[in-house]
Amino acid sequence: MTNDILVVGVISPETQEAVTGVVKGLEKAFNVKDPLALSEQFTHMTSWSNAMGTRLDDREAIAEFSAPAMKGFLRDSYARYDVVKLLEIAPDVIAVNVAQTPTDSSGDPVEGVRGAALYVIAKQADGWKIVAGQNTAVGAPPA
């Protein structure tokens, strides 16, 4: 865990690590262009709005949408996902603010559209998963 994450509420270090691990799993799946691994970070019944405003309402829809996108317009896109805030909503339910930075394939930052995501991550029978999320495209900061 980094000291740069704002933690609001009583969130154990183990929970912080688990929730951050979900975000890192999402990042890895995006960067290796694995739509199944990406979808597995979500609960079966989920609601996710991507950066284009498309709402996807279950894990299968996320995989089906992501597969052609990752082979098409996203094939040369990479990103780093940094957790910036954790907010305890209820026991085992955490709101997670994530800053997304465009990178090259080796992880070095590049110019481009950034992202701001909000994920609700909850403990499930099969581990911590994203229950709901919103991904928002954000223009590059002024020079």
pLDDT tens digits along 11-29:
999 999 999 999 999 999 9
In 3D, which of 17, 95, 29 has the Cα closest to residue 62? 29
Confidence grade of residue 1 (pLDDT, cut at 50, 70, 90) = very low
DSSP per residue, the chain: --TTSEEES---HHHHHHHHHHHHHHHHHHHTT-HHHHHTTEEEEEEEE-TTS-EEEEHHHHHHHHHHHHHTTTTT-EEEEEEEEEEEEETTEEEEEEEEEEE-TTS-B-SS-EEEEEEEEEEETTEEEEEEEEEEEEPPPP-
Q: What is the pLDDT of residues 21-51, one digit of tens each?
A: 999 999 999 999 999 999 999 999 999 999 8
Residue 19 contacts residue 128 (beta carbons within 8 Å): yes
In 3D, which of 98, 99, 90, 94 has the Cα closest to residue 128? 94
Residue 84 contacts residue 6 (beta carbons within 8 Å): yes
Q: What is the pLDDT of residues 89-129, one digit of tens each?
A: 999 999 999 999 999 999 999 999 999 999 999 999 999 99
pLDDT at position 142 is 66
Residue 60 contacts residue 39 (beta carbons within 8 Å): yes
pLDDT at 2 over 70: no
Domains of the chain: 6-138 (3.10.450.50)
pLDDT at 76 over 50: yes
Confidence grade of residue 139 (pLDDT, cut at 50, 70, 90) = confident
